[in-house]
Structure 1
């Protein structure tokens, strides 16, 4: 793949290929994704999840839930000042964060179980 300006474009297929930015979704990227998806829902786009169990049925709540489940087919574009950029599927970033969070939770349980003994 190459861009129109002649700058190489890299489509990331694994978390180890991420060279621009952290291997997780930043708070700014998360806000942008949720806001964009909430606007799509507000404008009439169909939700990608079953919303009958969600209460309230607010578009922002639905968008956050779609993000947490990992059903959004979105690419995150991370760019360097020289124009080079990477396209990172949202699922790669959210899966990495879920794995990291589960490891942290396991360590916390191990630590606090040792303290309480």
Structure 2
């Protein structure tokens, strides 16, 4: 059994430009300097203490440092947050909307 933590998401090289990644996945990121790579952005975020396992949030997604080579980020994981499912109304809410047409509502079932 390996001791390496499991990662579920997409994997990229540290040389990928952050703006390309943001555009492709629809991530909302602040204005970036052109050509800023994942490696450079993570180094800024890590404040010099970057190591495998470091996580950073960008545009609603999470970047994971997976591998480092010679102090530079070699492999980065991108974990997208799942889209929130739209909640369906509860049955109680449906019954309260129109009690006259709802046969299960007490006002609709008048017993003489």
Q: Which has the higher contact order (CA 8 A, sep 6+)?
A: 1
| TM-score > 0.5, shorter chain as reference | no
Larger % of strand: which? Answer: 2
Q: Aligning the two structures, in what range does the TM-score lie when normalised by the shorter sequence?
A: under 0.3
Larger % of helix: which? Answer: 1
TM-score (normalizing by structure 1): 0.20
**Greater C-alpha Rg:** 2
